[in-house]
Amino acid sequence: MVVAQLGKLTLNTVSATGRWALFCGRSLACIRSGGELGARIVRSVFELGVRCVPVIAIVSAFAGLVLGLQGHYVLARFGASGMLGTLVSLSLCRELGPVLAALMIAGQAGTALAAELGIQRSTEQIDAIELMDVSPEGFLAGARLVASLLVFPALTSLFVLIGVTGGWLSGCILMPQDSDAYWSAVHEALKSRDVFECLIKALVFGLLTTSLCAYQGFNAHRSGEAGARAVGVATVRAIVLSSIAILAADYLITAALL
Amino acid sequence: MNPSPNPVAAPILEISHLKKSFGPREVLRDVSFSVPAGAILSILGRSGTGKSVLLKCIVGLLKSDAGDVSYKGSSLANPSALSALRQTASYVFQQNALFDSSTVYENVLLPLQARRRGTRAEWDMRVRSILGRLELADAAQRYPSELSGGMQKRLAVARALVTDPELVFFDEPTAGLDPLRRNAVFEMIAKLQQESKFTAIVVTHDVQEALVVSSRILWLDAGDVRFEGTSADFSESRDPDICAFRDNIEALREAVRSMQTNAAH
């Protein structure tokens, strides 16, 4: 019984992964379908990116503040208070920045995307697009995938910048750390390969998050539920799968690049 | 009002031995018929007899289990023929399927953008022209949710007709509308068909209205075609099953009308 269930789960997972891969392929291959590609990309950058700036700014500021505070107390125990800038900048650039920024964007823009496409599916808007001889994948998801390649690195960079500033604020303004030592440690610690790793992660997380959220919304009718409940299931799946994918990809990329 | 298509006109659409099941439930058993160019064909039948499923199988939104659909002589199993159908046909959904995040103007513009024929100025002219014809010009910058049910239906029709289609599918165009609006929708379909000469396939429950505007009738019952012919033949038929269908529907409608009248008093 357990083996049968396991087998069924495996088959379903493999099948869903294949459908997701096909969805991504069609989205990019038919990206021009429906015309107005430039306008769609600009609108997607706004929806995915600009609307997420406030949440990214707030979360990154607090992440930096906490890192500065914790770093100050932990490093002081080892007499290494001067390493605070190194700790904050490397933590944010290599790990926390890409991961937390991606989770925040998935939470705000990803769920909105899944819900929007889910509603479009349940109200036959996607069928209407298909009957205009337009690829619904290319028209609805293609531009958003391209936009994610711009938005995720930009918002991740913003996250790191604000986070490092937050670390300076709590470590050097609220705590008795030296500002010059902090910024010179940041400058010395960050190498181009750290920035490269940060941007690679942002790109991969962007593609994963956007494609998974779009796929879940697009296929809301396959969720086993109908109507509004199907949209709810699709939205929950979108955020859960995106979060798992971000953390799993983070481990794989870190292991590959270390 | 019945438009009379040229009886020798080649069929624009031919459906052969179409079958569709959902699990153990056979929805379409062996459906075959053809649609002459320029006709208004109404597909009649009770709820759950597979009328909408038939329409969705024809346009490829649902995959049939067996059978074939040909458009202008080419099988729609061929992707290029299916693409040709979608380029020259339009579909009015039962629930309208309007793009709720786009304005009325943008809803009507999208099919033109999708087909990429003509210039932006031509698109603008055509959108404004069809909105004017369907009395939606003043609502161009409003969203579908801000429109009444009748206006939403007109918007769905405007979106379908803006590309000058050769073939238009109407899936229950009067569903959920009161009798006055139902008549208005059928009048609109007949008038627009006279003006634009498209072929129309209308799925409906409204027998009397369908008989007035249609040139041909297809009666679908339990997944089978029970009648295919002219609307005159259908209305004059003495076949007991057809009579029972016509009388049942009309008796039910009369009962509902009298209930509404009593409630109003």
Q: How far is A137 from chain B (nearest CA, A)?
A: 14
Q: Is the pLDDT of residue A151 over 90?
A: yes
Q: How far is B90 from chain A (nearest CA, A)?
A: 7
Q: Is B256 on the interface with A (CB under 8 A)?
A: no
Map B34-77 to HEC letters: EEECCCEEEEECCCCCCHHHHHHHHHCCCCCCEEEEEECCEECC
Whether residues A128 and B116 touch (CB distance < 8 A) is answered with no
The parent domain of residue B46 ranges over: 11-99+166-264
Cα–Cα distance measured from residue A38 to residue A150, given in angstroms and rounded to the nearest whole number:
13
Binding-face residues of A in 23-52 toward B, CB within 8 A: 33-36
Q: How many CB pairs under 8 A join A and B?
A: 48
Q: Is B77 on the interface with A (CB under 8 A)?
A: no
Question: Which among B146, B218, B152, B205 has a CA at the least distance from the CA of B175?
Answer: B205
pLDDT band at B251 (very low <50, low <70, confident <90, very high): low
Q: Is residue B20 part of a domain?
A: yes
The predicted pLDDT at position B168 comes to: 93
pLDDT band at A152 (very low <50, low <70, confident <90, very high): very high
Q: How far is A112 from chain B (nearest CA, A)?
A: 13
**A35 contacts in B (CB within 8 Å)?**
113-114, 116
Q: Is the pLDDT of residue B192 over 60?
A: yes
Strand order of the sheet with strand B25-36? B25-36, B11-22, B66-71, B74-75
pLDDT band at B175 (very low <50, low <70, confident <90, very high): confident
Q: Is the pLDDT of residue B249 over 90?
A: no
Whether residues B114 and A35 touch (CB distance < 8 A) is answered with yes
User: Domain tally for chain B?
Assistant: 1
Q: Is residue B73 part of a domain?
A: yes
In this structure, the strands spanning B199-204 and B167-171 are parallel
**B97 contacts in A (CB within 8 Å)?**
123-125, 127-128
Q: Is residue B145 part of a domain?
A: no
Q: Is the pLDDT of residue B140 over 80?
A: yes
pTM here is 0.85
The predicted pLDDT at position A225 comes to: 78
**Tens digit of each residue's pLDDT (9 = 90 or more) over A90-101:** 999 999 999 999
Shortest CB distance from B83 goes to which of A120, A129, A133?
Answer: A133
Q: Is B265 on the interface with A (CB under 8 A)?
A: no
Q: Is A227 on the interface with B (CB under 8 A)?
A: no
Q: Is A123 on the interface with B (CB under 8 A)?
A: yes
Binding-face residues of B in 192-251 toward A, CB within 8 A: none
pLDDT band at A116 (very low <50, low <70, confident <90, very high): very high
Cα–Cα distance measured from residue A239 to residue A213, given in angstroms and rounded to the nearest whole number:
7
CATH label of the domain that carries residue B175: 3.40.50.300
Q: Is A134 on the interface with B (CB under 8 A)?
A: yes
Q: Is residue B5 part of a domain?
A: no
Which residue in chain B has the smallest CA separation from A33?
Answer: B114
Average pLDDT over residues A107-121: 94
Percent of chain A residues past pLDDT 90, beyond the cut: 76
Q: How far is B207 from chain A (nearest CA, A)?
A: 26
Cα–Cα distance measured from residue B23 to residue A31, given in angstroms and rounded to the nearest whole number:
35
Whether residues A127 and B115 touch (CB distance < 8 A) is answered with no
The predicted pLDDT at position B6 comes to: 52
Q: Is residue B242 part of a domain?
A: yes
Whether residues B115 and A123 touch (CB distance < 8 A) is answered with no
Binding-face residues of A in 98-117 toward B, CB within 8 A: 116
Q: Is A78 on the interface with B (CB under 8 A)?
A: no
The predicted pLDDT at position B144 comes to: 93
The predicted pLDDT at position A125 comes to: 94
**Tens digit of each residue's pLDDT (9 = 90 or more) over A42-82:** 999 998 889 999 999 999 999 999 999 999 999 988 888 88
ipTM at complex level: 0.84
DSSP, residue by residue, chain B: ------TTSPEEEEEEEEEEEETTEEEEEEEEEEEETT-EEEEE--TTSSHHHHHHHHHTSS--SEEEEEETTEETTSHHHHHHHHHHEEEE-TT----TTS-HHHHHHHHHHHHT-S-HHHHHHHHHHHHHHTT-GGGTTS-GGGS-HHHHHHHHHHHHHTT--SEEEEESTTTT--HHHHHHHHHHHHHHHHHH--EEEEEES-HHHHHHH-SEEEEEETTEEEEEEEHHHHHH---HHHHHHHHHHHHHHHHHHHHHHHHH-
Which residue in chain A has the smallest CA separation from B88?
Answer: A132
Whether residues B113 and A124 touch (CB distance < 8 A) is answered with no
Q: Is residue B54 part of a domain?
A: yes
The predicted pLDDT at position A209 comes to: 96
Q: Is residue B55 part of a domain?
A: yes
The predicted pLDDT at position B253 comes to: 58
Query: Other CB atoms closer than 10 Å to residue A142's CB: what's the count?
Result: 26
B interface test, pick of A26, A46, A121, A125 with most B CB neighbours within 10 Å? A125
Radius of gyration of chain A (CA): 21
pLDDT band at B46 (very low <50, low <70, confident <90, very high): confident
pLDDT band at B45 (very low <50, low <70, confident <90, very high): confident
Shortest CB distance from B61 goes to which of A116, A123, A130?
Answer: A130
Which residue in chain A has the smallest CA separation from B82?
Answer: A133
**Tens digit of each residue's pLDDT (9 = 90 or more) over B67-84:** 999 998 889 988 999 999
Q: Is residue B194 part of a domain?
A: yes
Whether residues B100 and A34 touch (CB distance < 8 A) is answered with no
Query: Other CB atoms closer than 10 Å to residue B101's CB: what's the count?
Result: 14
